[in-house]
Structure 1
Amino acid sequence: MTMIAVCALWGMLFSVLVAEPVQAADLIRALMFQEAQRVLITSGRGLVRQFPDGAEQVMSTPVVVTQLDGGMTLNGARAASDMVKVRGRDDDLIITVAETPVSDQPQDRLSDKLSDAAGSAVPPAELGPPPMGALRGPAPLHTLVLAGAVQVIRRGKSLMVINEVDLEEYVKGVVPSEMSSGWHLEALKAQAVAARTYALYQRMMNAGRDYDVVAGVQDQVYRGRRGVDERVQQAVEATRGVVLMHQNAPVFAAFSSTAAGPTEDAINVWSKDLPYLKGVECPFDANSPYYRWRAEVSLQDLENNLRRQGIAVGTIASVTPFSFSRAGRVGRLRILHSEGELILRGTDFRRVVGYTAVRSTQFEVQSVGRTIVLAGRGSGHAVGLCQWGAKELAELGYSFAVILTYYFPGTEFNNTRFGAQAPSSTP
């Protein structure tokens, strides 16, 4: 079955979901913590425990859920099941866990989506692993303020914490985590629609899983109420229920920080041949702080990291890119070492070295000693929406609808009042 046929099938199955603007009652399940041992839940006006049969029990605050001997306890008493679900009576929940939330954990897979646009003019960028060889200490206590309900589910010897939250409240939490709230309102609207669309796509694809999305860079960063200000709320409310569609289904609305050239075909990054994720010209992001970058990579660290991942490698002599995508990004590299030759995908090279060191696969190797020097452009995978490009287009006067249909060609909105004509590729 072709990808187009698969998309058409999904469209028939889920057209009811997005045929009209999404209703506020739609819920998203976001994985907030995945290896917790103890979870403290409080709320200003008390808690309500919700049972699978629909029954509810008012509880005093706080509630403490602990993993213990292959089971779990609730306020010190062994729970009858491996799932506890609570909501605030009339207020948000405050969750405290001695584990780093997934929104703040280093990225651990090839598809990186977190923008380096969040937070400041020269922001922290897509999260990546610490420098090679860095040590990590024990995780301190982390607190999140969440709307909706929280499920604590035991899996093995750990507890998963899942926030079941209204879709629009979820989008409000994603936008300031992925883009500075000080940016142009139309850029924030574009981010809101992309975040909403991406969440619905993942919910559609993961119906049999305990959660729809991971609240970190594996999907899109969501930190609950953190960073939600008046401008974020304005952008989300102005686009409430608006979803980007292809063949009557929500699209895989990927985004990253800085393309620094044409955006990338999805097939070159994730082996997803989607008709609306083909590269387009993007001369709009030259003001990004990561439009150009340089990195130094220790070959000793590279050797050690490869060995830790079970890849046999000797002393490295050279690192040479030899295949490139149509947009000019590194497809594969040849690593010559004392025991032979190793071929790596460009995306694998980024993962091995570190996403914050090698910000994209658009780079050249300028020198090789025991430290190699890389000169690169852009930040992120460059598939779909370019966030710094969206910022520039918004400042040039283009609407969020124009911006999104430019970066996702062949798509349309579930609400027909948002017509759009693509901008010129000349800034």
Structure 2
Amino acid sequence: MRNILKLTAVLLMISIIHISIPMQVYGYDKGKVPEYVKIGLRYAESATPMISILGKGGLELGNDIGGGFNSMFSFLGNDEIIVRKDSFFMGFNGSFIEYQYDEQRDSNNSMIQGPIHVQIGPQFSTREEAQAFLSNLAYTGNKPYLSFEGSWQVWTGMFTSLTSAQSAMEAIRSTFPELELKVIPQNNMRIQILSSAGDVLCMLNLGETEYYFKSTTSTPIKVDGKNFRGDIGIKRYNDSDLTIINRLLLEEYLYSVVPKEMSGTWPLEAQKAQAVAARNYAIQNLGIHKQYGFDLCATSHCQVYGGFDSEHETSRKAVDETRGKFLTYKGNLVTPFYHSNSGGHTENSENIWSTPIDYLKGVNDPFSVGAPNDTWTYVMSKDQIQDLLNSKQLSVGELNGVQVTAYSDFGRVLKLELSGSADKKILEKEKVRSIFGYNNIKSTWFTVSTDASAIVITGNASEPQQISSSDFFVVTADGTEQMNGGLNQMVVFNGIDLKNISFNAQQYVFTGKGWGHGLGMSQWGAKKMAEEGYTYDQILTYYYTGTQIE
């Protein structure tokens, strides 16, 4: 039996660190599966002040009323338009950038467009009335445009200051003394819509209403160069820039998710398994981002979604051939966690997080062996580990040792002890990967060795053992004595070669298997199973114990 290096340390305090994940099981009801989903393309920190948008043949902008779409603005042709928040922008390299305006410095800079406008005439209850007024307005200044702020209005200008807006308003009054005029200040809920040349087409106060761009030809809509099926929604929140939402059919959403989560060139049956897993996951997590007005995001936080450009013919076929199919356990939808490579055996959920889940039990997985990352090695120096722990507020002083103190029955780490001159920390389960990095420690199925250990055969052992240099004893004239830990290194002769062994570990080697948490389906294992003739339902029920396809 091999023993992992143990170094003596003074135990001042033990900190137990662990993570858990909430698990929920929902009743299975096909009638409640939504036809459409809303995917957040940009929100919160990823929100941007401006986007470009293009619909081949034209776009309509409006909202849903009474089960139908209420078109408010039309943008015909194949010209790109710019949608941006009501703010300061400056022309730059044929486009625009948001600008930090300073009135004293920038008041004479004609390249800057601002968020202050002038209303010309009264408010109107219909777009047709406002459009008729605009068409008959013989105004030769800044081209007027329609704006909707709960009522229809005609505005002009994108002024950078109240002073410049008031000057423009007085000039208009001299020409149209009978008209109602009003300066319109900046509003955080308003968007500006411009031509690619920077001419205002219209403005819209979003308020709490959901507004969407629709293609007039049912073709994908291009947002900043990327194509998306369905509709593109715009929302404004006071604490962020533009929130961009893609509303589309659930099945069309999966067209993009499957090849982003699994290669579109892989066997059809493997992708069908991925399609069912992705469908389950989407339904189980609908509304996770409801505070931002959409169901799921487009990143790995939910499922990676790349839009129309990421689709693959085989992936679309996989989705179509499993349309309406779900993975269930005792009649309930399961949450089908999956990972890249199990390394040869999957794990029980309680050994990765904290909650036992009946359908997430470890199974032997020979299908993953031989695939990329079925084994891996990661090396860190003592100083690197100390610096890492310090940066995570987990300092132990001078590092004395790193050792696994508890394994699961299938070999994954349950507790990793980091001991030092001042403290001792214990990382549990997936917390190890979150601290050391998910791309560094690819799974919790690993062992730790150091440059202060050696593999020897002792007189009472039938197998080689890995032992610490601090555990060595020597025979002297006065008897057997333990080696002096104050030495820097010693030399061991194995009968053939001499080997230097350090007394104080300076390097730690993590040797592991697999990539990912190890729960549920191994994607590389699914690929191998498909190549060997297994069907998608056989793949899924193999990795998710006790489940069935409905």
**Could you tell me the TM-score, scaled by structure 2's length?**
0.60
* Candidates 95, 103, 111, aligned match of 2:223: 95
Q: Is the 8 A contact 1:261 1:327 kept in 2?
A: no
Kindly provide the CA deviation profile for residues 108-132 of structure 1, in whole angstroms up to 9, marking residues without a partner as x. Answer: xxxxxxxxxxxxxxxxxxxxxxxxx
**Alignment pair present for 1:59 and 2:195:** no
Bigger-Rg structure (1/2): 2
TM-aligned CA distance change 1:301 to 1:246, over 3 Å:
same
**Alignment pair present for 1:81 and 2:207:** yes
Q: Which residue of 2 aligns with 1:191?
A: 274
In structure 1, give the amino acid aligned to 2:375. Answer: R
3-state SS of 2:257 partner: helix
The separation in 2 between residues aligned to 1:335 and 1:401, in whole angstroms, is: 43
The separation in 2 between residues aligned to 1:375 and 1:330, in whole angstroms, is: 12
Kindly provide the CA deviation profile for residues 111-169 of structure 1, in whole angstroms up to 9, marking residues without a partner as x. Answer: xxxxxxxxxxxxxxxxxxxxxxxxxxxxxxxx432111233333413443332221111
* Candidates 54, 62, 66, aligned match of 1:42: 54
Kindly provide the CA deviation profile for residues 214-269 of structure 1, in whole angstroms up to 9, marking residues without a partner as x. Answer: 32222221111233222112211111121112233321011111111221122222
Q: Which residue of 2 aligns with 1:409?
A: 545
In structure 1, give the amino acid aligned to 2:74. Answer: M
TM-aligned CA distance change 1:317 to 1:93, over 3 Å:
farther
Matches within 5 A, 1:160-199: 160-199=243-282
The separation in 1 between residues aligned to 2:380 and 2:212, in whole angstroms, is: 46
More strand by share: 2
3-state SS of 1:284 partner: helix
TM-aligned CA distance change 1:247 to 1:160, over 3 Å:
farther
The separation in 1 between residues aligned to 2:254 and 2:191, in whole angstroms, is: 31
TM-aligned CA distance change 1:66 to 1:370, over 3 Å:
farther
The separation in 2 between residues aligned to 1:6 and 1:233, in whole angstroms, is: 29
5+ residue gaps, structure 2, are 1-22, 88-185, 194-202, 452-504
The separation in 2 between residues aligned to 1:235 and 1:335, in whole angstroms, is: 46
Q: Is the 8 A contact 2:85 2:241 kept in 1?
A: no
* Candidates 287, 300, 303, aligned match of 1:217: 300
Taking every aligned residue pair, what percent have the same amino acid on both sides? 31
Shift of 1:331: 1.4
Shift of 1:208: 7.4
Q: Is the 8 A contact 1:197 1:252 kept in 2?
A: yes
The separation in 2 between residues aligned to 1:39 and 1:408, in whole angstroms, is: 44
TM-aligned CA distance change 1:370 to 1:146, over 3 Å:
farther
* Candidates 313, 336, 339, aligned match of 1:253: 336
Kindly provide the CA deviation profile for residues 190-223 of structure 1, in whole angstroms up to 9, marking residues without a partner as x. Answer: 1111111111111277777733323222222111
Q: Is the 8 A contact 2:405 2:417 kept in 1?
A: yes
In structure 2, give the amino acid aligned to 1:394. Answer: A
Q: Is the 8 A contact 1:46 1:58 kept in 2?
A: no
TM-aligned CA distance change 1:364 to 1:249, over 3 Å:
same
3-state SS of 2:310 partner: coil
* Candidates 286, 311, 323, aligned match of 1:228: 311
Kindly provide the CA deviation profile for residues 394-419 of structure 1, in whole angstroms up to 9, marking residues without a partner as x. Answer: 111110011111111222222xxxxx
**Alignment pair present for 1:324 and 2:452:** no
5+ residue gaps, structure 1, are 97-142, 415-427
3-state SS of 1:51 partner: strand
* Candidates 505, 514, 518, aligned match of 1:378: 514
Q: Which residue of 2 aligns with 1:29?
A: 38
The separation in 2 between residues aligned to 1:72 and 1:215, in whole angstroms, is: 24
In structure 2, give the amino acid aligned to 1:265. Answer: N
Q: Is the 8 A contact 1:302 1:352 kept in 2?
A: no
3-state SS of 1:174 partner: helix
In structure 2, give the amino acid aligned to 1:37. Answer: T
The separation in 2 between residues aligned to 1:350 and 1:70, in whole angstroms, is: 45
3-state SS of 1:359 partner: coil
Shift of 1:38: 2.2
3-state SS of 1:190 partner: helix
3-state SS of 2:352 partner: helix
Shift of 1:383: 0.6
TM-aligned CA distance change 1:160 to 1:364, over 3 Å:
farther
